[in-house]
Amino acid sequence: MIFYHGQKAWPYDNLLEELMGSAPAVLDEESANTLRALRRYQPSFEYVLINLHDYDDDKIMGTFNEGMLRASLLAMRDYALGEPVRRIPRYISNLQGVALSDLSLSFVSDLAKYIMALGPEPEKMDIMREIKEETIKIHPSDQPGFVSALDAWNREKEEAAREAAKIAAKEAAQQASYREKLAIARNLKSTEISISAISVATGLPIEVIEKL
């Protein structure tokens, strides 16, 4: 079974030929007989294709009963069509009958990623706020709930961004320090100081100093 929600139309007319290549148009008799004999061992590659491009809102709502699945498929279908995933009340309304305890962090994370995927960065906090407001309409008592999970996921993203900034700053400082050492070594090399002494003074390998 293949579940497809890419932004391009399903690209394959013959998946077997796409994976294995088509047979040459002209074969000698021996090769043709060998190919016919081997076909009994060839997998059929028959598959069931669920293509979200073929599903509109009514078909999704009529085919699937589970609220989290409906919300996910609606957001994924909008993404597959290349549309801004902004029908937040439409997605969240499907969570009406879902128990708060079932709204896991992983589900929240995946749904939020789709909702924000096509949006410009400045809009993302507004999108998060709308998700939370629509959810509170459905589940006013948020214990533990979707909103709490969404806040937790957002904190994780902010913490990851802070860590990434720290790493980038550390790497930038290391690069600046290295460039400074190279400049010092280059200046010292123009004097009568030995390369080995410059290496001790700067911490740079002798082979690096020799190339300056």
Q: What percent of the chain has pLDDT over 90?
A: 0
Answer whether 84's CB lies under 8 Å from 57's CB. Answer: no
Q: What percent of the chain has pLDDT over 70?
A: 73
Span 163-175, average pLDDT: 87
Local confidence band at 73 (pLDDT 50, 70, 90 cut-offs):
confident
Q: Which residue did the predictor score with more confidence, 144 or 5? A: 5
pLDDT of residue 144: 46
Which candidate, 42, 97, 96, 52, places its Cα nearest to that of 74? Answer: 52
Local confidence band at 142 (pLDDT 50, 70, 90 cut-offs):
low
Please state the pTM of the whole predicted model: 0.50
Q: Which residue did the predictor score with more confidence, 3 or 140? A: 3
Span 97-117, average pLDDT: 70
Alpha-carbon separation of residue 143 from 20, 97, 127, 134, 140 (angstroms): 52, 15, 22, 16, 9
The number of C-alpha atoms within 13 Å of 86 and in the hemisphere containing its C-beta is 9
Q: Which residue did the predictor score with more confidence, 48 or 146? A: 48
C-alpha dihedral (66, 72, 76, 77), degrees to nearest 10: 30
